[in-house]
Structure 1
């Protein structure tokens, strides 16, 4: 009984942390949630193969309401760009379905390594001083948005993350948007990207044996509720904090997160 109480406390704390991170940086927080859930499930005796898939699926299910909460906070600050969000989200849903289907059927170790290396490359690109400090006009193009959304959705479904650490650099580096607007828009796009991944994990997990109790496909409803209890309200606080930080400082925080993600996914630590 004591072990279950400890698991619940750990999940509540994890939910609070990823909720704040989601609102602050426009990311889903799956890189924290997935390993924590995996540890909890395997500690309870769940088969590791089942545990990782449930962790990925449940992570996306938690990301959906958490990102929605953060997006509302950013929208009130006029930091959500609806047109880019619409194109990114439409392609992202499709990508999420593909990524979730792949992850439900084959191991993703090699792709995870490439994913981690890509995160490191993006981090390095974001800290390289720009030659021109003149404010550039943001780009506009359906092909750009659909390509970025498709890739973010694919990685989201594949690795159980929101995809924000792809969307935010995409909007700041390639599309030339201000980081505050990039983060605000990312939180809204994550909501729709998560939907595609969730559908895949539910459908591919139905009928699978040895799932933990209270599971709907590869989504564990009990862990979902526990994590969301703290993540949803904390996303509002994160969104408020984001608009109090200068763009340069916010950029550095995002880079630190990317470096951590890159090293973790690459298996360096």
Structure 2
């Protein structure tokens, strides 16, 4: 039980900030929540991951439902990616205690930084046109019934293992491979994240790797933040939203890299 009011307030604020950024442009709460937990209350990395996944689950539900209300979610994709992702997340969460995450985190962080810079500088459409001219995703579109489940299992495994909500990665797949508009890609990815992060959280809860007081306070702030962020995202144009997504992805990559080096 956490009885320090300043710590509880810090968790509430951290959750709110995570909710705003993820609800507005997808991503994950883990680069904020995990360091906060390890620094403020000296939690183990395994407890921090489980708690972070619970927060991502709440954000995904809150923001995803709001995007759904605005008809910016593709349910078929949610099922094709979300259910396999759920299975992958449960499996991945079982291996957290016994494996090193440093190499994969560094690799992921560098790739995400590169993508974020491109989105922030060039906007969504220029990047989309460039990639579509250089790379053919036709096979993936024609074989989406194979590609989506396999991708879901892999991303779910990464999420359950590392405590990353992966909605940002899913949004990129939906934008570049499936050619969704950015609003639908973000809305669909957030709802998928609720499946994946929720399953990963359950796996960690089963191993008693969650701090309930921290989870409840951070998730409360996150739900308010997600509602605010996703409301704003649904009111702005695609180019601005694409640049915001780039900024969030860039920040996410930096935080993942710094967290890996320092923690």
TM-score above 0.5? yes
TM-score, scaled to structure 2: 0.85
1:95 has 2:98 as partner: no
- The within-5 A match list for 1:104-119 is 104-119=97-112
Match of 1:146 among 149, 155, 158: 149
Work out the CA distance in 1 between the residues paired with 2:257 and 2:227.
31
Q: Which 5+ residue runs of structure 1 have no aligned equivalent?
A: 206-216
Tell me what 2:41 maps to: 41
Secondary structure of residue in 2 paired with 1:219: coil
Superposition deviation, residue 234 in structure 1: 2.4
Secondary structure of 2:73 counterpart: coil
Q: Distance in 2 between matches of 1:92 and 1:4?
A: 37
1:210 alignment counterpart? none
Instruction: Report what 1:219 is aligned to.
Output: 210
The alpha carbon displacement at 1:121 in A equals 4.3
Could you tell me the TM-score, scaled by structure 1's length? 0.83
- 1:122-141 CA deviation, whole Å, 9 max, x = no partner? 335644642479xx999461
Q: Is the 8 A contact 1:97 1:157 kept in 2?
A: yes
C-alpha RMSD over aligned residues: 2.5
Partners of 1:237 and 1:195 in 2: how far apart? 21
SS at match of 1:171: helix
Task: List runs of 5+ in structure 2 lacking aligned partners.
Answer: none
Matches within 5 A, 1:105-184: 105-123=98-116, 126=119, 127=122, 129=127, 130-131=129-130, 139=141, 141-184=144-187
Separation in 2 of the partners of 1:82 and 1:33? 29
Cα drift, residue 200 of structure 1: 2.2
Q: Give CA deviations for 1:122-171 in whole Å, capped at 9, x if unaligned.
A: 335644642479xx999461122123322321221122121111101111
Q: Tell me which protein shows more helix as a share of its residues.
A: 2
Aligned to 1:86: 79
Q: Is the 8 A contact 2:159 2:166 kept in 1?
A: yes
Alpha-carbon distance between aligned partners in 2 of 1:256 and 1:237, rounded to the nearest angstrom: 18
Residue 238 of structure 2 is aligned to residue 247 of structure 1: yes
